[in-house]
Amino acid sequence: MQRIQLDKLAPEAHRKVVDLFLYSQANIETPLLNLIMLRASVVNGCAYCVDMHTRDALKAGESAQRLFAVSVWSESPFFSMQERAALALTDAVTLIGQDGVPDDVWDGARAIWSEKEVADLVMAIIMINAFNRIAASTRKTPVLAD
């Protein structure tokens, strides 16, 4: 059972996270943003977000096969070089720990994207991690779809 509804109890703060989502949506292509959001949600163990981002990606035309493979993206042949770099960055930022983002991951992203594009990717990863933490800490749960 959901503990509290942060969007109702702290609407101004919640709106800032939504604004970051809107920024990410405007600056990153939908298929890539969907992969980033799904991957971070898988890493964070956020069932609500995995459910939502999987359904959204399917509606946007993503293949089920690629969505199933997001959990094992580094072993899967289904992702482009750009997607692989974004997924590696997603893993590194999501699991940042004490050592930060490794240079090889950062350099791999920079080899593909401009500084601004990498900044937009990092902001998107921060955004989905914020939403994952909102959903996981409040125990927001998915509902079985029809």
Contact (CB, 8 A) for 45 and 99: no
pLDDT at 143: 84
Tell me if 126 sits within 8 A of 19, measured CB to CB.
no
Say how far apart CA 126 and CA 54 lie, in whole Å. Answer: 19
Count: domains in the chain: 1
Residues of the chain with pLDDT under 50: none
Q: Which residues of 89-99 are buried (b: 16+ CB within 10 A; e: fewer)?
A: bbbbbbeeeee
What is the pLDDT at residue 131?
A: 96
Domain assignment present for residue 38? The answer is yes
- Classify the C-alpha dihedral 111-112-118-121 as positive or negative: negative
The tens digit of pLDDT for each residue in 86-97 reads 999 999 999 999
Give the residue numbers spanning the domain of 37.
13-137
Per the CB < 8 A criterion, the answer to whether 123 and 33 are in contact is: no
Residue 110 has what pLDDT?
97
In a domain, 41, yes or no: yes
Query: What is the reported pLDDT for 75?
Result: 97
User: What's the CATH code of the domain at 111?
Assistant: 1.20.1290.10
Instruction: Determine, yes or no, domain membership for 83.
Output: yes
145 lies in some domain? no
